[in-house]
A and B are shown apart, each in its own frame.
Chain A
Amino acid sequence: MPARLEIRTFLHAFDRVFLVRLLFWALLSCVAAAQPAPPAPQARFVVVLDAAHGGDDAGGRLANNQLEKSFTLALSVRLRSLLGARGIQVVTTRESDVGVEPEKRAEIANHAQAQACLSLHASENGLGVYLFASSLSPALHPSDKDLSLGTPVQPTRFAAWKTAQTAWVTRSLALEGVLHSALQHAGMSVTLGRTSLPVVDSMSCPAVAVEIAPEMGPDKKVAAGLDDLDYQARVAEALAAALVEWRSEAHQP
């Protein structure tokens, strides 16, 4: 009889110790889980500029034998200095004429934990500036769920990596809206669209692909070609103004 009592008290004591440990562990894990969030500094605002193409990938051919890869790099450099002057930290995916794989570009962007990612393109097709958010959809009807959320369909060439943008589409559309108004404010014709671009689809940040075509005049004809330095400068200024606006929106409570 006393032996059984001893066992019971022992078990009770064990239970209590276990319970205390469990509580302590839960507390610790709560603190650990909460930890990554607070240090995110209020003032940290990073923009990723992705000068599309480069190296062997020349991109499209533009007027006057200019290549898309050179145009995008020049725009990226110009925009970086404009943003730097406004105190915005910029991360670029390339600084010279080198080929960078889409996965690597997305990796750079995702590592930067940026508040805005712009993939810069240029084309002789069309007129004005085209803004594209990812066509990955955050909310489609359930039967389309697999595709829209990007989980493997059948022949699984899909990885979650390739559809990281899914979670960001809503923010990307908001960024697209801010870019839209800034460009319009600068007197440019803007066309909004959705597309499926490997780089943007793999980015986990508010991301927009910007494709610059020749400027459209009031007669719906070309007012300035892509080689027009003034046009290039105005586009860069408008994009910089949009990102400043985006920063102020991001920092509002």
Chain B
Amino acid sequence: MIPRHQKLLFGILLLASLVMGVTLWQLRERAHKRLIAGQDSAPTRAPEVAPAEQATLLVANDSDSSMRTQIHSLPLPADPGSRARAVLGKLLDLYAAPDAAHPVPGGGSSVLQVFLLPVPESAASAAASVKPKSGDSSSAEFRANTTGAAPREQPQTGPQLAVVNLTGSFAASHPSGIEAETLTVLSICGTLHANQPRITQVRFLVDGQTRATLAGHADLTRTYLAGDAVPAEGTQP
């Protein structure tokens, strides 16, 4: 004869395992739904959908060491990081063109990413606005903006630091020289600031790593003040 308390214990354990089974099933379903939703928002189509807008480029000219403002119309994604990347891509496309005034091989694909971070001093807005360019968060933001919803959690003011990640092949094929490298760096900084005035500081990475110089000269380990970029290099007063 099985004692009564053992029967009771058996019953409780059976019930508990049933409840756990149901819970696990529900969790699995929920995860599955989330996965499907995530696939929907994969960022593959976003840049093509982006409407054409006007972008201001600061285009370097080797012949007189100047930087001239040029307005170009190009598709610009809503996400600020992707937008900055698209604008820099256009700038480097101009430099890669056969008749470029500041010839640099590589073109638009030389900009891997542009990360936008709040400038360290304004710690108030620290956590929210770290925006990796690729992945769910940027595509979610893209959707939010195109459907007219207010962009969420992003502080809309305050200076930003742009981290520009360039390809190793761009750096390797960049013409070596103080003048040539400085013009590239300054035109990138100036272009970022001209399109997104909140970008006040710029840092550079090459293939995700810090690198001493662009092509033997311009220091890539320091932070550049983007607002300074424009008048610094022989621009007409």
Contact = CB atoms under 8 A, between A and B. Distances in A.
Contacts of A132: 178, 182
A213 interface: yes
User: Residue among A68, A132, A137, A195 with the most chain B CB within 10 A?
Assistant: A195
Interface residues of B, number: 31
A112 interface: no
B177 A123 contact: yes
B86 interface: no
B232 interface: yes
Nearest to A101: B212
A130 B225 contact: no
Contacts of A57: 216
Interface in A174-197: 191-197
A153 B182 CA distance: 21
B222 A158 contact: yes
A211 B121 contact: no
A196 B221 CA distance: 10
Contacts of B177: 60, 121, 123-126, 211, 213
Interface stretch (A89-97, A143-151, A231-239): A143-151
Interface of A: 53, 57, 59-61, 68, 102, 121, 123-127, 130, 132, 135, 137, 140, 143-144, 146-148, 153-154, 157-158, 162, 191-198, 201, 209, 211, 213, 220
Interface of B: 62-63, 65, 120-121, 175-180, 182, 185, 201, 210, 212-213, 215-219, 221-225, 228, 232-234
20 contacts: A59-B176, A61-B176, A68-B176, A123-B176, A124-B175, A124-B177, A125-B180, A126-B62, A126-B177, A153-B120, A153-B201, A153-B223, A154-B120, A162-B222, A191-B179, A196-B182, A197-B218, A201-B219, A209-B178, A211-B177
